Chain A
Amino acid sequence: MKSRYPFYIAVALLIIAGLGLATLRHVELGIPWLSGDERPVWLVEARIDFQASGEPVLVSLNLPDNPPGFHVLSEQAASPGYGFSIIEEEGDRRGEWSIREASGAQTLYYKAQFVPDPDVRPPQPKKPPQPETIYWEEPQATAANEVLELAAAKSSTPESMTRELIKLIRSTDPNQNTALLLSGNRPVDVLSRLLNHADIPARISEGIMLEDARRRQPLRPFLQIYDGDSWLTFNPQSGEQGLPENVLLWNRDTTSLLDVMGGNQSVVSFAMLRQTVPALQLARAEAIDSGLGFLSLYQLPIEEQSMFRMLLLLPLGAMVVAFMRIVIGIRTSGTFMPVLIAVAFLQTSLLPGLVTFISVVTIGLLLRGYLSSLNLLLVSRISTLIILVIFMSTAISIVGYQMGFNTGMTVTFFPMVILAWTIERMSILWEEEGPHEVVVQGAGSLLVATLAYLLMDAPLARHLTFNFPELHLVILAIILLLGQYTGYKLSELRRFYPMKVYE
């Protein structure tokens, strides 16, 4: 007797591989287990207004690139007549609009969808940034040195130094030195200069506060210092460390946000909207550039996707048939006829499908009875039957359409061969085993087909089979295990009941 271990190991591997891959894809790609899942997405729109002066115009806007805590789902620019391209230079993304000639008020839009994703970290700088060299003029130089001394006395690390500086600068009763430094300068600029002066690399990044349905929002400055490892963000107003969750850093570094050539009075403002997007759609949009994306069917042409959607349901039906026949012991006509009938039900929906199936098969059985009395050869009889089935389904479609039932049309989805073959099989069964067996097998087929349909039609089943095709490995394993079942069928418990007599 052959060892069964390799078999069971293979089955276990199939199950582990199926569930493992599905879980991995769920985690990595964010494909939801349930179809109804929704995720928030921020739609941010940057609007650039300026007055063009009738010359060639080149507008360059700094675009967010891997803002911490978010990733870009989609981006697009809208601007009539302008050429648009995204340019990357020195790790800086800029959108450039260009036009040969424009005059008067111009409005350009850049829209992007951002998905909150706590895992996104800004890239590490390739080489540690160096503090800028700052030149002060007297008396600012003295004031700056004194302020720095004051802060240094109360701090030990760049971080605490920064906090102390912010406290000093934002203090409600500023001393003489800070007042001098702040006169005519933004506090954040002063802070950045002071820090750089103190040999701490610092920069100003700008971000927007994300709030639903806000318009005309300006960018807010954030102070960032480099602690030798990564950039740390501080709120220059409150001195709070860290980037709030609802802040999207639009541009890092000190490069300009907007450059306009051939225009003036340029203004950038931001509007934002919180959208909820089905998590599935999100996953699909992201699947393309993800490592595990190749396993999904989203890249296929839509037409093929819808075909696979149907095809991938078949294993479920096969599993139902295997279970019903092996464990329950329901007799069906043909092994996989019920699956095919169930697929046809998917097209027609259950009730119209059942009605048309039963009526076409019944009429077909009657006609076939007549055909066999005509003494025809078998092949021509089946061929005749197929043509008759086509006539019948055409008739049902036309009658259904005239009566206003759309469902009449869907009978055409029943493959003729399924119907004709069912009729032929049933009528042979009728002749050989009698009507009782026809009823038993016919009802068994329809019952199994209905159960298979109900399973295949469940939204969850449709969702899982298409979005997690690897779960079919689990189905395969279950079917293999069913093939190993040597126990009694449920129907045998009834069939062998008379054995009780021989106790």
Chain B
Amino acid sequence: MIRWISPAALNRRGMLNMNRRNVSYIARYNERSAYPLVDNKLKTKLIAAEYDVSTPKLRQVVSQQHEISHFRERVEDLAGFAIKPAKGSGGKGIMVITGRDDDRFVKASGATVSLASLERHLSNILAGLYSLGGAPDVAIVEDLIQCSSTLTDFSFQGVPDIRIVVFRGYPVMAMLRLATRASDGKANLHQGAIGVGIDIASGQSLNAVQFNRPVSHHPDTGLALEHIHIQEWHTMLVMASRCYEATGLGYMGADLVLDQNSGPTLLELNARPGLAIQMANGKGLLPRLKYIEGLKRTHLTPEARVEYAMSVFSHTGALYTPPKKTSSSRVPA
């Protein structure tokens, strides 16, 4: 049975839709010239490092076909690593190796793959199989994320990551993405991962959805999704906010993880973040975006912006009108 919601009802909730996202936010606030920075994970890592945003340690870059033969010796002493296409999007072409089983490599799912199939994967990446438009690509090999124990339990196999939508440098909405059996250990919502809305003000979980339907418990681990609290929440928000200075992108999604050893780590940036975050939060993005658009002067430092966002975008606060004169007094000079 097909169920519908009226456009008026969506408007009331301030749901951002794809057309408006594309026209009014991505096209207006994102410079095209900045796209390669986020579309290329290698460039993202380099620029993030400049702005004190930590990313997984880079082990190897395979950019030529003949370098593939050296791949083996260079990962010899690594127990786990992740192979990513630099220009891949939406998690395409990412292969996570968690260990060894004699000659074979163990994937996150537990299945093993041969060296040959890893090499073929690298070759596919170089040929541009996973890049936008099939452009030639490079493969990067990174250290595996050691997911913080506070979150591991909630995710089936894959590393849970936190998507924060950053608008003009202000974190406006966040969600935690948990892999499920259905999503094959990936944290992509449309593949069946669970999205858990996170309160900007507290880092506390709100409600959760899977396949756009509300859920209360993780279907694979059976854990309740109600009272998750993200550690080092403030640091994460500041890191996400810094990416605005790093890239200049006015509207983007920052994907972060909480590493056991190095704390909040940036996985990747996205210049065209999806809309499902609204479902996970049970709130539309529009009022918050309009609120930021209505600011007479924006805050200059990431810390100040995070401070401000935490004060106005709390889940409990009702936010429907852009700031008037009263709120401008809060903006520091």
* Residues of chain A whose beta carbon lies under 8 Å from any beta carbon of chain B: 326, 329, 375, 377-379, 428, 432-434, 483-489, 492-502
Contact = CB atoms under 8 A, between A and B. Distances in A.
Contacts of B258: none
B20 A498 contact: no
B191 interface: yes
Contact of B212 (A432, A484, A489, A495): A495
B209 interface: yes
B44 interface: no
21 contacts: A375-B116, A375-B120, A378-B127, A379-B127, A483-B23, A484-B23, A485-B19, A486-B17, A486-B24, A487-B19, A488-B7, A488-B15, A489-B19, A492-B18, A496-B279, A497-B4, A498-B214, A499-B5, A499-B15, A499-B279, A499-B284
Interface of B: 2-7, 9-10, 13, 15, 17-20, 23-24, 92-93, 116-117, 120, 123-124, 127-129, 190-191, 207, 209, 212-214, 278-279, 282-284
Nearest to B126: A378
Contact of B17 (A377, A428, A489): A489
Contact of B13 (A434, A484, A499): A499
B325 to A, nearest CB: 21
B13 A494 contact: no
Contacts of B13: 499, 502
B124 A433 contact: no
Given A499-B279, A502-B282, A493 B23 contact: no
Nearest to B283: A502
The 10 A-B residue pairs with the shortest CB-CB distance, nearest first, are: A378-B127, A486-B20, A502-B282, A497-B3, A488-B17, A497-B5, A486-B19, A493-B4, A488-B7, A486-B23
A378 B214 contact: no
A501 B128 CA distance: 42
B191 A433 contact: yes
Contacts of A492: 10, 17-18
Given A488-B7, A499-B15, 19 more contacts: A375-B116, A378-B124, A378-B129, A434-B191, A483-B23, A485-B19, A486-B19, A486-B23, A486-B24, A487-B7, A493-B5, A493-B7, A493-B10, A494-B5, A497-B212, A499-B9, A501-B214, A501-B282, A502-B207
B107 to A, nearest CB: 15
A496 B5 contact: yes
B213 A496 contact: no
Nearest to A493: B4
Nearest to B281: A502
Given A498-B209, A499-B279, A502-B282, A489 B18 contact: yes
A342 B21 CA distance: 30
A375 B122 CA distance: 12
A378 B9 CA distance: 47
A306 to B, nearest CB: 33
A498 B19 contact: no
B289 to A, nearest CB: 13
* Max chain B C-beta neighbours (<10 A), residue from A375, A486, A494, A500: A486
Contacts of B190: 433
B6 A493 contact: yes
Contact of B5 (A379, A433, A500): A500
Contacts of A377: 123, 127
A487 B15 CA distance: 10
A496 B282 contact: no
Contacts of B4: 493-494, 497
A496 B212 CA distance: 8
Contacts of A326: 19
Contacts of A329: 18
Given A377-B123, A432-B92, A486-B19, A499 B191 contact: no
B181 to A, nearest CB: 13
A381 B283 CA distance: 46
Contacts of B20: 486-487
Contacts of B282: 499, 501-502
Nearest to B65: A377
Contacts of A502: 13, 207, 282-283
B185 to A, nearest CB: 14
A496 B15 contact: yes
A501 B9 CA distance: 11
A378 B282 CA distance: 43
A212 to B, nearest CB: 61
Contacts of A375: 116-117, 120
A500 B191 contact: no
Nearest to B19: A486
Contacts of A434: 191
A485 B190 CA distance: 24
A433 B19 CA distance: 23
A298 B282 CA distance: 60
Contacts of A500: 5, 9
B25 to A, nearest CB: 10
Contact of B10 (A379, A432, A496): A496
B120 A498 contact: no
Contacts of B129: 378, 428
A379 B124 CA distance: 9
A499 B10 CA distance: 8
A295 to B, nearest CB: 34
A489 B7 CA distance: 9
Nearest to B124: A378
A502 B17 CA distance: 17
Contact of B213 (A483, A485, A493, A498): A498
Nearest to A329: B18
Contacts of A496: 5, 10, 15, 212, 278-279
Contacts of B15: 488, 496, 499
Contacts of A495: 212
B128 to A, nearest CB: 7
A440 to B, nearest CB: 11
Contacts of A501: 214, 282
A378 B17 contact: no
A420 to B, nearest CB: 13
Contacts of A432: 92-93
A494 B3 contact: yes
A32 B10 CA distance: 46
A379 B129 CA distance: 10
Contacts of A378: 123-124, 127-129
A489 B23 CA distance: 14
A114 B120 CA distance: 76
A207 B257 CA distance: 96
Most buried by A among B17, B123, B128: B17
A488 B10 contact: yes
Contacts of B6: 493
Contacts of B279: 496, 498-499
A393 to B, nearest CB: 24
B12 to A, nearest CB: 9
Nearest to A495: B212
B74 to A, nearest CB: 21
Nearest to A380: B127
Contacts of B120: 375
A500 B19 CA distance: 21
Could you say which of B6, B18, B191, B214 has the most chain A C-beta atoms within 10 Å of its C-beta? B18
Contacts of B191: 433-434
A434 B2 CA distance: 23
